[in-house]
Structure 1
Amino acid sequence: MTTLGRVGLAILTAATLATSACATSTAPSAQSDAPAATGTVTLVTHSSFQLPENVLADFTKQTGLAVRTVELGDGGELATKLSLTPGNPPGDVAFGVDNTYAARPVRAGVFDEYVSPAAANGARDYALAGMPQLTAVDFGDVCVNIDTRFFKDKNLPEPVTYQDLAKPEYRGLTVVQNPETASPGMAFLAGTVATLGDGWQDYWRALRTNDVAVTPNWTTAYSTDFSGSSGRGPKPIVVSYASSPAAEVGKDGAAPPTKALLDTCFRQVEYAGVLRGTKNPDGARKLIDFLLSPAAQATIPDAMYVYPVTRGVPLPEAWAKYAPVPPKPATLPADRLADERDGWVRQWRQLMGR
């Protein structure tokens, strides 16, 4: 992701539905004191993948393997395209399949089983039940964000919960993303299902009555419509990320004018896995191990605007202060997401008159 687009800004443009263009690149081999690369490991990933070149160069220095990347669109496209070619992969290892899409490629036989020894230091806490093929690398939380200045200026209490957004005093103030075309929109929908249970449909009816705005992607919602971003739009409530406020800290270190509502969060975890049929399984495993190393994990917040899974990795100062990890985000089993997601979206479309 770039620094403020997961925050166009660096919030992952996993937040928006990317085009299906495919791109490739090769990380430079390590600096002059490093041995020349003796081979290549191909990483298949999404369009928001971003690690510093010097970090990938360190991997080359340690292993003699250069990293070549192949991008397959956003996280949903990545999962879908990998699922079409099980056993005949476009690379050696994949990164960026998240828990909302994970069951699809796992069921298709895309991955070989591999549990990294480094997973014991935190990644195992995010393992998906019955899916030893996938290793967690990072996580983020999709949450409602608010423009705190608006509520102070209007002398209006800040909303706290999902249900608050449907109250009359917040009529016309909220913008969300279409779950058909934007991953944060899908996560927000899943969060309402997880939190409200059978009442999620009534909730969306109430949101529609309360004049909720729906955009096709995260960028439009956050960077154009949200009043708390540089776009200074008309809506003081937006679906974004728990990490978004850290990107709004002033250049002088001033507190951001936004905050995430931690009772409205749904957790997304990104995974890596060895692709079945790879010609370099050893290199694939080494790259997964490396992605869990403290050195690589420490770069993840600033590079991709998500949280590291390895224990003991410090967050940047602004994150620790303004983007704390939500203590109790909503979650759903990956199998349920795979089985019911399309049905939820169809019902959502009907409820919203689309």
Structure 2
Amino acid sequence: MLRTTALFAALAAMPAQAQELVVYTYDSFTADWGAGPQVEALFEAECGCDLTFVGTGDGAAMVARLQLEGAGTDADVVLGLDTNLIQAARETGLFAPAPTDLAVPALPIEWQDDTFVPFDWSYFAFVYETYALDTVPTSFEELAQSDISILIQDPRSSTPGLGLLMWIDALYGDDADQIWSDLADNIVTVTPGWSEAYGLFLEGEAEMVLSYTTSPAYHLIAEEDDGKATAAFEEGHYMQVEVAAALADSDQPDLAAQFLTFLTSAQLQSVLPTTQWMYPAYEAEVPTGFDTLQSPEIALLQSPEVAAERRDAALAIWQDALSQ
């Protein structure tokens, strides 16, 4: 009897196992230098839970994984899709409505979506070393007519790659085949994701890389290097708004809703400029250095529905042009 009493006392003294929230996201978010470690520490301090990030490649690969796993997915939340992927994600039927009491986004566009919650944004752009180019192109046509070497990402697996695809589609539509054909000899390689392409650029493998207008802020603030800039295209730059959403079959619905609310908080949003190197999607402090960045005069963005409708045709044009 004494042994039984002692056993029950010992069990009662053991701490309860923390609830786990599983978040699918892209690989660079989970890297040591990404936002993931800070987001994890901040949210776990708030929720008393165990936040587990699972890297899935890039955003487009994340949708493919969800389509494969279906309702049996281990994910409670996905983080890192964007407006070009929202419709494909929505069509899986896997997502739950977002909390109704979220803060109002502070975006250049009006945001209306009851499922997908924006958490950061920027514009796609080509980054270059200021000392390396005598003439900086001001349009896709000028870039295609130059001998400037570029690195891009695969639109089938990468959200920046898909962003470039839809950027050119938004400007040229069904006539995009000529631009892609002209760009083909500028392209050094097509990488699966952003990290690989940017790493090759930093190693000097090409003169330009597809990234964001906010990317030079990293070099300026973290490295005190003001030698990176983005080419300003007079025809406009395509926006990326990154989003998160909760899975309908999550066994942690309350925790998932808490995490989405946390993403919109000033505490979290203030972390993103110097970890994601993107603009916060809600009112938050932006560090000195962001005021030096290019601000496109023309913002381009197709709705999720139009992007989904145009994607296959745009991808076919891209594949045909680059295979010749």
TM score, norm. by length of structure 1? 0.74
Task: Determine whether 1:241 maps to 2:212.
Answer: yes
Task: Determine whether 1:353 maps to 2:318.
Answer: no
Paired AA for residue 314 in structure 2: W
The whole-number CA distance in structure 2 between the counterparts of 1:91 and 1:176 is 29
Inter-CA distance 309–272: structure 2 relative to 1 (3 Å threshold)? same
The whole-number CA distance in structure 2 between the counterparts of 1:237 and 1:54 is 30
Does the Cα contact within 8 Å between 2:176 and 2:317 map onto a contact in 1? no
Structural mapping, 1:197-276, within 5 Å: 197-208=173-184, 211-217=185-191, 218=194, 221-224=197-200, 226=201, 229=202, 231-233=203-205, 235-249=206-220, 253-261=224-232, 263=234, 265-276=237-248
Task: Determine whether 1:289 maps to 2:271.
Answer: no
Measured against aligned partners, the alpha-carbon deviations of 1:275-315 in whole angstroms (never above 9, x if no partner) come to: 1111221111111000110110111122222221002x122
Does the Cα contact within 8 Å between 2:167 and 2:238 map onto a contact in 1? yes
Q: Cα distance, 1:179 vs. partner?
A: 3.2
The structure carrying a bigger helix percent of its residues is 2
Q: Cα distance, 1:195 vs. partner?
A: 1.6
Partner secondary structure for residue 119 of structure 1? coil
Inter-CA distance 118–84: structure 2 relative to 1 (3 Å threshold)? same
Does the Cα contact within 8 Å between 2:137 and 2:231 map onto a contact in 1? no
Structural mapping, 1:1-354, within 5 Å: 39-49=19-29, 50-51=34-35, 53=37, 55-122=39-106, 125=109, 127=111, 131-152=113-134, 157-167=135-145, 170-208=146-184, 211-217=185-191, 218=194, 221-224=197-200, 226=201, 229=202, 231-233=203-205, 235-249=206-220, 253-261=224-232, 263=234, 265-311=237-283, 313-321=284-292, 323-354=293-324
Measured against aligned partners, the alpha-carbon deviations of 1:117-158 in whole angstroms (never above 9, x if no partner) come to: 233143695636xx4211111123221223322334xxxx42
Inter-CA distance 251–194: structure 2 relative to 1 (3 Å threshold)? closer
The residue that corresponds to 2:11 in the other structure is none
Deviates more, 1:96-105 or 1:198-207: 198-207
Inter-CA distance 251–63: structure 2 relative to 1 (3 Å threshold)? closer
Q: Cα distance, 1:271 vs. partner?
A: 1.1
Paired AA for residue 239 in structure 1: L
The whole-number CA distance in structure 2 between the counterparts of 1:187 and 1:285 is 28
Point out where structure 2 has 5 or more consecutive residues left out of the alignment. Answer: 1-14
Inter-CA distance 89–175: structure 2 relative to 1 (3 Å threshold)? closer
Paired AA for residue 253 in structure 1: E
Rg comparison, structure with higher value: 2
* Matched positions, count: 303
Paired AA for residue 216 in structure 2: P
Partner secondary structure for residue 155 of structure 2? coil
Inter-CA distance 259–339: structure 2 relative to 1 (3 Å threshold)? closer
Point out where structure 1 has 5 or more consecutive residues left out of the alignment. Answer: 1-34
Paired AA for residue 246 in structure 1: A
The whole-number CA distance in structure 2 between the counterparts of 1:58 and 1:184 is 27
The whole-number CA distance in structure 2 between the counterparts of 1:256 and 1:126 is 34
Q: Cα distance, 1:184 vs. partner?
A: 2.5
Does the Cα contact within 8 Å between 1:119 and 1:135 map onto a contact in 2? no
Q: Cα distance, 1:350 vs. partner?
A: 1.4
Does the Cα contact within 8 Å between 1:146 and 1:261 map onto a contact in 2? no
The whole-number CA distance in structure 1 between the counterparts of 2:54 and 2:251 is 16
RMSD of aligned Cα (Å): 2.9
Q: Percent identity?
A: 24
Inter-CA distance 253–46: structure 2 relative to 1 (3 Å threshold)? closer
TM score, norm. by length of structure 2? 0.81
Measured against aligned partners, the alpha-carbon deviations of 1:41-66 in whole angstroms (never above 9, x if no partner) come to: 33232222243645533433333333
Q: Cα distance, 1:274 vs. partner?
A: 1.6
